[in-house]
Structure 1
Amino acid sequence: MYSSTTGGQGRLKLVNFETLENHISHETQGLSNKYLVVRRGKPFKVTLVFYGQMWNPKTEYLALQVLLGEMSARMLVRFSDKRSDPRSWSARIYPGDIGHRVVTIRVCAPALSSVAQYQLMVHIVGSHERSSYTAGPFVLLCNPWLKEDPVYMPLDAQRQEYVKSDYGVIYMGTDLNFSQQPWSFGQYEPGILEACLQLLQVSPQHLSNSHKDYVLRENPAYLSRIVCAMVNSSDDMGLLEGRWKGSYKDGVKPTEWSGSADILHRWMASKGNPVRYGQCWVFASVLCTVMRVLGVPSRVVTVFNAAHDGDGNLITEEFYSSTGERLGLSKDSVWNFHVWVECWMRRPDIGAKYDGWQVVDPTPQERSAGVYRCGPCPVVAIRRRCLNTPYDTAFVYASVDADIVRVIVRSGKVVGRKVDTEWVGRLIFTKSIGSDAPEELTDSYKRKKKDQTYRVGHSGLSDRIVSVSGNGGPVCRASRSFVPGPPEGVCQMSPNVMSGLPNEDGSGSDVTLSIDGEPTLGKGIDLTVTVTNPSNSTRVLREHLNAQLKEFNSSPEKSFWKSHQEVSIQPFQVLTRRHSIAPSEYEAFLAGDDIVTVAVVIKDLKTKERVLATQDFNLSSPKISIEVDGGDSIQVKKEHKAIVSFTNELNKTLSGAVLTVEGYGLLQGKQEARLTILHPNEKIEKKVAITASTSGTKLLTASFSHSGSSGAISRSYHKVSVTTR
């Protein structure tokens, strides 16, 4: 309730924003206990209570005014139950909404109102007197429940998952052995709405021209582009600073975050200094939180084998030594996984055929119009290869569908080359509606290249059709900034050829590399190399195998295991070679969920030709058990017990064992259990008392480390549903 008189003898006693009823009606429960939060295009109730005499409709009129920066909208309060013009503000009194000294007014914002915090004023104007009252602030959000709103989403199950749900799952690892990390979006935690609004207020666009910024905030595409840039701190007072290698001691290691609320609270407390540190899934998850708070349906998406096309030619190069060691010689890279966000909206700026899911990527990789951001880019434009479509479609297209060229180098010379048209974007996942299981989106982004023609152009220009034959063909190469006009040029994609081992009859040899089973920390890593000799002569080959740790964003590390052997293969033989990397050979280098690249180079000793095969995989972590007494649904503000334990299933004794338990919104700080020695099959356990102050989905997180490991060798998460009763 708010009441403030700005002039004259006060006749208005108070203004009741009917917060509880409005929040239920507008699907904004829990977003704020400080402000009224409503959605545009839908009426909300405001009740006026007078001291005595109400206004006299015959001699006076009642008006409401909303203020946003320099903008103002004034509306006469009318007696009517008819629907208002959706393009303008309205204030109406329905039959039965007026009583003794009390009147309820239904206020409705246009369907294309700006997303922001407004001020509401009440004016009573007569022929000889005018009284004005400041009713107080309220927050206006996008409305996915309203057909006239560009973010309208037709199915309630979709709105519940992509707007109201405060829980998600991030898929990580490799396409062969991916893991799931739960994430708490935390939009119902105290202060999160205020942090999201503050993010808009300190954007460069708002600071340089607040009026223009407020006007443009009606457009969800504009909102997503602003928030995308503000989630990273590369150009502004943004939320997160990224770091992909080196020490994290002056911040939080990216793998230790499990929710957005802690990050947003830290940013607010620091008065705009960036929170350290983020990587792609952290940037994307925080962006998803902000967009859901603002009312834009959003989901987190993982692309396995995502290309970073540094030079814009839609081709990604990787370099290997003649013994199979990955070399960091290219500006391009292929990340084992990359995480971005899809936001749902109509795109009247480029045409209805581009409506729907839009890629918005806040990880600072390349600049778009001079700023580290990417999107919104229509998913349908990526699939149709409309590479000039705004924004940044060529860059996103390369992320999911670039060719990858693997080059073998020896003494500065290229001695082998292989083009792979299928590796990039092999699998694309998001969380399923109502389930932790992944929903595959690969077909939404990609079609078979050989079945394709490439469409180039955008709304307002005639599309160009460029024919394609086989697995290659020209495509338009566009800059990341959208500039209307014809394509900048074309680039010829390389044919799908592989430098094999030539035989006397001109035929080549096939080599494949595979990983047997699911590699788990503490157990041997079994490899299988298969070599085919389709010729009628015996071949003498040298086999080079190399294993090296790599960052998920493709940065190669030093090799930790190598094998070099000479083998003979008979005519028309399929030779299977089996290798195993023992735990003792990798434990000093690898931890749980680390990603490993194994490469094999086969050299024909007679012809000196080489052929390469590679495989990436990640080690599964030993499991941590988390059990909540009474089940996984707890009551708010009621203490519950949780038992967290780790059993040493490794075949060795671990010294300096530490089991750490955290839970934002459930626990204060970290709690630890320590053992000097943890023998094989021995258990370390920690009991904690958890209490939730707010409802929603919370996460208990646990990690295990020991003195012989460089970091946590295991990390587990447990979802807890908090209810009000």
Structure 2
Amino acid sequence: MQRADLEIGENLERHRTEGFGHAKALVVRRGAPFRVSLPMKARPFDARTDTLRVKVMLGPLYVTMPVTSFSPNNVSSRWGAFMDPEALDPNKPSVYIHAPPSASVGRYSFKVLVSDRRKPRFLFSGKFILLCNSWCSADSAYIPFEDQREEYIQNDSCLLFMGTATNVVSRPWSMDQFEPDVLEACLNLLNVSPQHQHNKRTDYLCRNNPVYISRVVSAMINCEDDRGVLKGNWSGDYSGGIHPSMWTGSGDILRSWAQSGYRPVKYGQCWVFAAVMCTVMRVLGIPCRVVTNFNSAHDTNGNLVIEEFYNEMGKKLKSTKDSIWNFHVWVECWMTRRDLGGGMDGWQVLDPTPQHRSRGVFCCGPAPVKAIKERRVDLLYDVPFVYAEVNADVHTLVVSQGRVVSRNVDTERVGPLVSTKAVGSPRMDNVTGDYKKIKSPFSTLSSNMSSRSERSTLRQGTAKMAAVLTLDETPVAGAVIRFTLKVINRQPVAKMLKVHLNAQCKEYNDSPADTFWEDHSVVQLGPSEAKVLKQQILPGQYEDVVGDDLVNLAAVLEDMATHERLLAFEEFNVAAPELLIKIEEEDNVTVNREQSASVTFTNPFSHPVSGVLSVSGAGLLQGHANFRMFPLRPGGSGDQRITFVPTMKGTKMLQASLSLSNKSTVRGFKMVSVRPL
């Protein structure tokens, strides 16, 4: 048996898989032919007497077919093989193998038999990896615009959006789908899945459908029910693993998982789960993007109501099983939904974070975005759960001595902004309108939390006073946090009010920790009078508790005569400083030529800091370059020069992260345009 020539260069270019050139097998896409050549060393091929048959195998599945002459009708919905008689080289004849647009994804092998009754038979063999084809209109993963195919299949970098709806933070992430060993890890993920281990034949047959593939991947990214990739951890104790915020790309995670014998990598949180799933789906050829839902509701009992509790001093209390995450990250995959009939094709929500069981397994989706907007809770999969994440009502209650003394209802707080990275640009794209019927412009919905509190109070119809809590400016690390509390007496009689202010540090997905700043005062208001109270929190009061975390700031007003209480609150993030990256000769970055760059950090904090700088970039650097940054005084700057050698053309992301001694992390990125030689 001889090896067929897989014509690697030609096939990779034709199938837009050049990034997988390092793979151990030819990588092609279904719905398009690829060419293999047969080196006839013993004798020339005789088209008059020789016949050829091809056998293609995927695990226990196989198909055999004769090699026919080329014609336009050869490209069909079935497996086929053909030759072009007009371009026949008798010493090295070529065979084109056509995988139908509905073929299953996976590792294939093939054999080509050359036979003639009067002459010796020859057998050639080879291997290839078959992926979905978003460029083929008959493929159920087809997406009709070239710029979207480049973004959602080929782009090996991304921005993840975090923070709050009023102060969105972009975090760079390296998708790494073309980095060494990542393709193999993604294919192994399918083979390690319970579906494959239970019935290999059925699993292989079902891998023709992105709906099936996406559900398998969604479950396998977390390890709750299987030998999945990531172990989730929100406890605050990350010993024995890596803090979720330290990951910068998918490649390290997927390689670590595969090299460990498929033991879960520690640790992940929602954006890590989503970003790794996005990598896997792009590798498999299914268009995928990372999506962030701000103020995302986790409605455990399905009643579309989330309850939050404060005490009379303004301290937010530990939540019930229901909760609101300041942001939650999932993915959308583009696919045809033949299982749902017409009208539900397009973007589908999938969520690999283990917070919801779907048919008994920790996975979520694919739920059509169109179905979420239309509240089609009768459709597969998990539409009610995702609908609640963007549409639940919030009941905010103040309790005193075990009794509820104030209640607000807010129908607009959940899901005010759903966002993703824009096509071809490092900016945010607002896709909220795809998920819900927007009652008012986004700028009104998210202008500030306090205006929402005032609207909620007025809707109750019994309020005798109002409060508006607003930040004077976007909080920035190292600067004073200034805010304003406007107190309004809505009655024609004077009032004496107790004002309790409370600030707590909180993680994006949890109830706040203990109070780190508070203020208590008494305010006298004349009839129908409004007063503006100015307050500030100094850097030294918050720097030790706010890194990647957020702040819950609340005010409780108590009428000293009636003991009526009113709550106003704001949850916000403090904008972190950024690393500045400069590329030398930025317009002349070329494949395989050494390039220099510098990374600069200026310390905005009120105390000296030191840390470790890590620089990486898919297609630019192999692995990570690490440097120790020595202590910088407040206001001081440090500069680190780095070199890199690009290995791939196109637009690449060079990213840097600085882990500081105060446990916060500073990040930066630079898009680099790499020219071919």
Relative to the length of structure 2, the TM-score reads 0.93
8 Å CA contact 2:12–2:21 kept in 1: the answer is no
- Partners of 2:91 and 2:381 in 1: how far apart? 54
- Which residue of the partner structure matches residue 445 of structure 2? none
SS in 1 for 2:513: strand
| Distance in 1 separating the partners of 2:256 and 2:587 | 28
Task: Report the secondary structure of 2:95's partner residue.
Answer: strand
Deviations 1:35-62 (A, max 9, x none): 1111111111111221243555565521
Does 1:518 find its partner at 2:474? yes
Counterparts of 1:540-579 in structure 2, within 5 Å, are 540-579=496-535
Which residue in the other structure is 1:394 paired with?
Answer: 384
Residues 1:15 and 2:28 aligned together: no
Which residue is equivalent to 2:449?
A: none
Contact 1:360 1:376 in 2 (8 A): yes
Shift of 1:499: 5.7
- Superposed CA deviations along residues 521-555 of structure 1, whole A, max 9, x for unmatched, are 22111111122222211122111111101101133
Match of 1:699 in 2: 654
1:64-100 CA distance string (max 9 Å, x none): 0100111111110011323236221111112323123
Q: Deviations 1:280-306 (Å, cap 9, x if unpaired)?
A: 111111111111111111111111111
Contact 1:507 1:535 in 2 (8 A): no
Q: 1:388 to 1:132 in 2, by over 3 A?
A: farther
Deviation at 1:130, TM superposition (A): 7.8
| Among 520, 526, 530, the residue aligned to 2:486 | 530
Return the alpha-carbon distance in structure 2 between the equivalents of residues 649 and 556 of structure 1: 25
Residues 673 and 686 in structure 1, CA contact (< 8 A), matched pair in contact too: no
Q: Distance in 2 between matches of 1:351 and 1:311?
A: 29
Q: Deviations over 1:570-629 (max 9, x none)?
A: 2222222211111222223223x4311111111112221211121111111123222232
- Choose the corresponding residue for 1:643, options 598, 609, 634: 598
What amino acid is aligned across from residue 587 of structure 1 in structure 2? E
Determine if the alignment matches structure 1 residue 688 to structure 2 residue 677.
no
Do residues 45 (structure 1) and 38 (structure 2) align?
Answer: no
- The CA distance in 1 between the partners of 2:80 and 2:587, in whole Å, is 46
1:715 and 2:667 correspond: yes
Once the two structures are TM-superposed, the CA of residue 414 in structure 1 deviates from its matched residue by: 1.3
| 2:198 aligned with 1:208 | yes
Q: CA RMSD in A?
A: 2.3
Structure 1 counterpart SS, 2:176: coil
> Take 1:411 and 1:501, find their aligned partners in 2: how far apart are those partners?
26
Q: Secondary structure at the match of 1:349?
A: helix
User: 1:659, 1:686 within 8 Å by CA — same for their partners in 2?
Assistant: no
| CA-CA distance at 1:672 after TM superposition | 2.6
Q: Aligned to 2:73, what secondary structure does the other structure show?
A: coil
Partner Cα distance (1:649, 1:612) in 2: 33
* CA distance 1:214–1:130, change in 2 (3 Å): farther
Alignment match, 2:105? 115
Q: Is the 8 A contact 2:4 2:124 kept in 1?
A: no
Among candidates 10, 14, 24, match of residue 13 of structure 2 = 24
Cα distance, 1:510 vs structure 2 = 2.4
Matches within 5 A, 1:280-679: 280-448=270-438, 498=456, 508-591=464-547, 593-631=548-586, 634-650=589-605, 652-654=606-608, 657-663=610-616, 666=621, 669-676=624-631, 678-679=632-633
Secondary structure, counterpart of 1:517 in structure 2: coil
Give the deviation of 1:721 after TM superposition: 4.3
Offset at 1:132? 5.9
Q: Shift in Å at residue 632 of structure 1?
A: 7.4
Would the aligned equivalents of 1:501 and 1:604 in 2 still touch at CA under 8 Å? no
Is 2:554–2:568's contact at 8 Å kept on the other side of the alignment? yes
Secondary structure at the aligned position of 2:493 is classed as coil
Q: Which moved more, 1:540-549 or 1:52-61?
A: 52-61
Q: List alignment gaps of at least 5 residues for structure 2.
A: 441-453
The answer as to 2:60 corresponding to 1:70 is yes
2:604 touches 2:634 (CA, 8 Å); kept in 1? yes
Distance 1:405 1:132 in 2: 75
CA contact (8 A) 1:659 1:684 kept: no
Other structure's SS at 1:331 match: coil
Q: Give the Cα–Cα distance (whole angstroms) in 2 for the partners of residues 163 and 287 of structure 1.
A: 13
How far residue 442 of structure 1 moved from its aligned partner, in angstroms, is 0.4
Provide the rounded CA distance (Å) in 2 between the counterparts of 1:263 and 1:546. Answer: 39
Deviation, structure 1 residue 250: 2.0
When residues 134 and 19 of structure 1 are mapped into structure 2, their CA distance, relative to the original with a 3 A threshold, is: same
Quick one: structure 1 residues 420 and 132, their matched pair in 2 at CA, closer, same or farther if it must change by over 3 Å? farther
Amino acid at match of 1:658: G
Match of residue 93 from structure 2: 103
Q: Which amino acid aligns with 1:614?
A: F
- Whole-angstrom distance in 1 between the partners of 2:191 and 2:460: 64
Indicate how the Cα distance of structure 1 residues 599 and 194 shifts in structure 2: closer, same or farther if over 3 A, else same: same
Which range moved further: 389-398 or 441-450? 441-450
SS of match in other structure, 1:553: coil
Contact 1:502 1:609 in 2 (8 A): no
Q: Does 1:251 align with 2:241?
A: yes
Q: Give yes or no for contact 1:187–1:261 (8 Å, CA) kept in 2.
A: yes
1:122-153 deviation digits (Å, cap 9, x = unpaired): 12344578846351210111111111111111
1:480 alignment partner in structure 2: none
1:469 counterpart residue number: none
Match of 2:448 in 1: none
Amino acid paired to 2:144: P
| CA offsets 1:231-253 (integer angstroms, 9 cap, x no match) | 11111111111112323242221
Give the TM-score, by structure 1 length: 0.87
Offset of 1:104 from its aligned partner?
Answer: 1.6
The residue type equivalent to 1:600 in the other structure is: A
Tell me if structure 1 keeps the 8 A contact 2:46–2:90.
no
Please give the alpha-carbon distance, in whole angstroms, between the structure 2 residues aligned to 1:153 and 1:501: 45
- Alpha-carbon spacing, 1:617–1:338, altered in 2? closer, same or farther (3 Å): same
Distance 2:434 2:634 in 1: 47
1:314, distance to aligned residue in structure 2 (A):
1.4
8 Å contact 1:598–1:615 — kept in the other structure? yes
* Partner secondary structure for residue 72 of structure 2: coil
Change (3 A) 1:500 1:87: closer
Q: Deviations over 1:428-453 (max 9, x none)?
A: 11111111111100010011479xxx
Cα distance in 1 for partners of 2:70, 2:540 equals 80
- Deviations along 1:475-504, one digit per CA (max 9) or x if unpaired, are xxxxxxxxxxxxxxxxxxxxx99567999x
**Which runs of no fewer than 5 residues in structure 1 stay unpaired?**
6-13, 451-495
Which SS does the other structure have where 2:514 is aligned?
strand
1:691 alignment partner AA: V
In the alignment, which of 231, 239, 244 is matched to residue 241 of structure 1? Answer: 231
Aligned mates of 1:166, 1:704 — CA distance in 2: 24
